Amino acid sequence: MRALQLTAWGKPAELRDVPIPTPGPGQVVLKVAGAGACHSDLHLMEWPEGTLPWQLPFTLGHENAGIVHALGAGVTGIREGDAMLVYGPWGCSHCAPCRLGRENYCDNAASIPASGGGLGRDGGMADYMLVPSSRLLVPLGSLDPVQAAPLTDAALTPYHAIKAALPSLVPGSTAVVIGAGGLGQSAVQLLRAISASQVVVIDKSETHLQKARELGAHRAYPSGESTRADVRALTANRGADLVLDMVGSNDTLALGASLLRAQGRLVIIGLAMGSLPLNFFAVPYGAQVSTSYWGTVTELMELVALAQQGSLRIPVETFPLDRAMHAYDELRAGRITGRGVVVP
């Protein structure tokens, strides 16, 4: 079968011919229906050797949906032909966070040789994908697997961050989303679907801003000199209760911190690896700065329900597997307004 594999650090991935995996006990092989091209894969391909503790080669693609193709011994409760999402962060399965479905915060993450399919183990940018346990599968029901693949990351990551802040997102509150690419567009819809917040989006691209308005943002501003004043004016000078930074650069972190309300929360989601100098007076009193990593398996189930009721729709642009690198090129150039999904 074909698989888009990372074979050397600091180099683009390449399409290779590899054997179709066979499932061992408890494992499942999916025929891949869709694999999202995530911005973090661009970082992954650029980072030098030694940044991550993973063995090469492995197949990219950590945002996956597929059809059950083969079941290993002892797998019960699912059948060949079922449409499934793959929960992306693969933990140890037996620590307390894993048993609560929070494998994104596995206590043993540092001692596991990979973070998931497409992240050190073979992912979904291939004709078939081996999933090491049926516990990592979430049924898709009537959703189209190509459209639904981005739920597993582009929607799950902002959903997890928003849910953590939900008690503060009361009527009269303001949530700011910096960066309106795939994750930002999901964040806008999710904030509108589950919170009462006024939703403000900041981005450099007018195309992204327009998309954010269409998806329900109350306000969408180009980033620039007046951004801080604009948001202050909009919130009667209070500032934002929640800022989601989908970029994570020096500039966006500084902007995000400057927009916070007292006791507000700045969440770093993007992997641009910027820094925010922090001291007692760097943020308003009581403000929190945190990272947020991916989401829980039960939150992924909630997203399937949200998509089924029509409250979440991620615009998808499809690419054939032999054009997968082109999807990443388009992503890098900012020419994909929703999510690029590779369809083998």
Task: Give dist(CA 71, CA 78) in Å, integer.
Answer: 9
Identified binder of Zn ion from the candidate list 20, 95, 143, 164, rule CB under 5 A: 95
Task: Compare residues 20 and 95 and give the one whose CB is closer to Zn ion.
Answer: 95
Identified binder of Zn ion from the candidate list 2, 26, 40, 42, rule CB under 5 A: 40
- For residue 151, state whether it binds Zn ion (rule: CB under 5 A): no
Task: Please return the burial class of 183, using the count of CB atoms within 10 Å of its CB with bins 0-12, 13-18 and 19+.
Answer: buried
- Give the number of other CB atoms < 10 A from CB of residue 115: 23
- For residue 342, state whether it binds Zn ion (rule: CB under 5 A): no
Distance in Å, CB of 106 to Zn ion, minimum: 3
Task: Compare residues 40 and 308 and give the one whose CB is closer to Zn ion.
Answer: 40
- For residue 202, state whether it binds Zn ion (rule: CB under 5 A): no
Residues 53-92 that bind Zn ion (CB under 5 A): 91-92
Task: Compare residues 78 and 92 and give the one whose CB is closer to Zn ion.
Answer: 92
| Residue 189: CA count within 13 A, CB half-sphere | 23
Distance in Å, CB of 191 to Zn ion, minimum: 20
Distance in Å, CB of 100 to Zn ion, minimum: 10
- Cβ neighbors of 107 (< 8 A, separation 6 or more) are 92, 95, 96, 97, 98
Task: Compare residues 113 and 310 and give the one whose CB is closer to Zn ion.
Answer: 113
Residues 101-140: x where in contact with Zn ion by CB under 5 A, - otherwise, as a string: -----x-x--------------------------------
Task: Give dist(CA 53, CA 111) in Å, integer.
Answer: 10
Task: Give dist(CA 135, CA 75) in Å, integer.
Answer: 10
Task: Compare residues 35 and 287 and give the one whose CB is closer to Zn ion.
Answer: 35
Task: Give dist(CA 143, CA 68) in Å, integer.
Answer: 15
- For residue 38, state whether it binds Zn ion (rule: CB under 5 A): yes
Distance in Å, CB of 41 to Zn ion, minimum: 7
Distance in Å, CB of 59 to Zn ion, minimum: 15
Distance in Å, CB of 185 to Zn ion, minimum: 14
Distance in Å, CB of 8 to Zn ion, minimum: 21
- Give the number of other CB atoms < 10 A from CB of residue 226: 11
Amino acid at 304: V
Give the angle 270-275-279 at the CA atoms, nearest 5°.
Answer: 125
E strands, the chain, are 2-6, 14-17, 28-37, 58-59, 64-71, 83-86, 116-117, 120-121, 128-131, 137-139, 174-178, 198-203, 219-222, 240-245, 260-268, 288-291, 316-320, 339-343
What are the tokens at 151?
């739920």
Size of the site for Zn ion (CB under 5 A): 9
Task: Compare residues 40 and 250 and give the one whose CB is closer to Zn ion.
Answer: 40
Q: Which residues bind Zn ion (CB under 5 A)?
A: 38, 40, 91-92, 95, 98, 106, 108, 153
